[in-house]
Amino acid sequence: MSETNSERQKVVIVGAGFGGLTCATKLAKAGNVDVTIVDRHPYQLFAPLLYQVATGGLPEDDIAYPVRAAIPGVDFVRGEVVKVSMDAKNIRLEDGRVLYYDQLVFAVGSEGTTFGVPGVAENALQMKNIREAREIKNRLLQTYEDVETGAKPKEALRVVVVGGGPTGVEVAGAVSEMQRGMRREFPNIADFASVTLVEAASRLLLPFNEKSSAHAKKELEELGAIVKVDSAVDRMYPTDVHLKSGEVLPAGTIIWAAGVAAPKQWAELGETDRANRLKVNDTLRLRDDVWIIGDMAHVITESDRPLPMVASVAMQQGRYVAASIQALIEGKIIKAFSYKDKGQMATIGRRRAVVELPNGMRLHGTPAWFSWLGLHVFYLAGGRNRVSVIADWFWNYIAWGIGPRRTVID
Ligand SMILES: Cc1cc2nc3c(=O)[nH]c(=O)nc-3n(C[C@H](O)[C@H](O)[C@H](O)COP(=O)(O)OP(=O)(O)OC[C@H]3O[C@@H](n4cnc5c(N)ncnc54)[C@H](O)[C@@H]3O)c2cc1C
């Protein structure tokens, strides 16, 4: 099929995440192409709130939006994509099914990476999906039960979070607050709990302004967290983290929030960068009919600085590709993709957050926190999830300090 004819083109989108779903929604609205989304999960994961599942603030289905029938007119196929044959214009699923396309949109996101630090894979908990977040929640809460009954030593209540980016800051803040909430239930052991945030760079939240970094550090310390910057991790064992400086941090729970990379398996499709992202041209294409978006894409620009791996990049690229496929169909010229920076934000705890807007404006504290809450509810997919998250947040707010928010269920 030619790329500019008027027959209905078959668009296959791999990945029902921020980029893939945004693209599918826009294509479905146009109504002149057949769209199929393929994903290994039947839901879209709202990763920005994973840390709240991991620390017992939200139930896991609040951040999982069912996608099977989410977009009228769009087909959903559940499966693991294992092969892309660009010459034959098809993708192969793990179970042997083959799907043919006229246009392929590849939006498979990223995964956790250990940067080769010894012991991370075996001893640290990561937080890239719901299963991992559940594992962190169960470990954090079960440790209190185990220490209380003498099954584990009190030192097991120490938590070390590695990675001072937005995710590490959010986790460390939420763990501090959780530990505070546990005092009522475990008065005899709660004082032994601690959280240490470790960052290799000289400050937290490196992409942010230095003032926001300093503010985040101060807020975390006010919450009771210990913050160690200039502290690269050398290796780790089940009960301690060794820093390059020689310092050893004992830990019952180690959470690795130090970085993500695109899945390595797709490197065969083209040239990749250090984070395994596929390098694409300024129209986000590897070739005329293969579009790469979101965390998987490294758009080659004059500065050759890749865009950040964040949801707003993926969504803007999803919308752009949908519009570009329409332009192809109509025989129009495809303009280069340009990213509109919407600013950045990170939350630290209750009424504690930092927000930076593209115009240079910075917000801290309560106004920043309310902006963070509003934006996350706005971008959360599905009315049920929104209502449920708002109800949970409201409850957490008024029940502050009353007790743990979720429990371990055997
Ligand atoms: C803990 C955490 C916190 C974050 N916080 C923020 C934040 O606060 N703000 C922000 O902007 N960004 C945040 N991000 C980053 C943001 O989630 C990503 O940038 C965004 O999800 C990228 O969108 P995407 O469409 O590229 O991929 P994703 O949204 O990850 O979607 C990829 C989809 O592809 C599917 N998939 C992958 N491989 C296959 C395969 N082989 N076969 C079938 N399906 C497959 C996956 O199941 C998934 O549904 C966070 C990420 C994490 C992990």
Supply 382's token pair. 């599905």
Do 366 and 301 reside in the same domain of the chain? no
Do 178 and 85 reside in the same domain of the chain? no
Do 17 and 94 reside in the same domain of the chain? yes
Do 239 and 371 reside in the same domain of the chain? yes
The CATH number of the domain holding residue 362 is: 3.50.50.100
Position 248 confidence tier, pLDDT thresholds 50, 70, 90:
very high
- Give the SS3 label for residue 284: coil
Position 86 confidence tier, pLDDT thresholds 50, 70, 90:
very high
Q: What percent of the chain is predicted at pLDDT more than 90? A: 82
Q: What is the pLDDT, as a whole number, of residue 1? A: 39
Question: Which range among 71-75, 240-244, 310-314, 392-396 shows the weakest confidence by mean pLDDT?
Answer: 392-396
In a domain, 299, yes or no: yes
How many structural domains comprise the chain?
A: 2
The CATH number of the domain holding residue 320 is: 3.50.50.60
Mean pLDDT value of segment 281-309: 91
In a domain, 166, yes or no: yes
Q: Is the pTM of this model over 0.75?
A: yes
Q: What is the DSSP string of 303-368?
A: S-PPPPS-HHHHHHHHHHHHHHHHHHHTTPPPPPP------EEEEEETTEEEEE-TTS-EEEHHHH
Q: What is the pLDDT, as a whole number, of residue 410? A: 64
Q: What is the pLDDT, as a whole number, of residue 393? A: 87
Pocket test for ligand 1, best of 82, 94, 108, 355 (most atoms within 8 A of CB): 108
* Average pLDDT in the chain: 93
The yes-or-no answer on residue 170 being catalytic is: yes
CA 159–ligand 1 middle distance (angstroms): 26
CA 4–ligand 1 middle distance (angstroms): 31
Q: Which ligand 1 atom sits nearest the alpha carbon of residue 80?
A: 42
User: For residue range 170-192, what is the model confidence (pLDDT) as tens digits?
Assistant: 999 999 999 998 988 899 999 99
Residue 249 has pLDDT above 60, yes or no: yes
318 lines ligand 1 (CB under 6 A): no
| Cα distance between residue 393 and residue 246, in whole Å | 41
In a domain, 61, yes or no: no
Kindly report the protein residue whose alpha carbon is nearest to atom 37 of ligand 1: 108
User: How many other CB atoms are there within 10 angstroms of residue 397's CB atom?
Assistant: 11
Q: What is the pLDDT, as a whole number, of residue 3? A: 45
Q: Which of 292, 295, 262 is nearest to 280 (CA)?
A: 292
Do 246 and 209 reside in the same domain of the chain? yes
In a domain, 59, yes or no: no
Do 239 and 380 reside in the same domain of the chain? yes
Domain membership of residue 271 as a residue range: 9-40+79-110+262-329
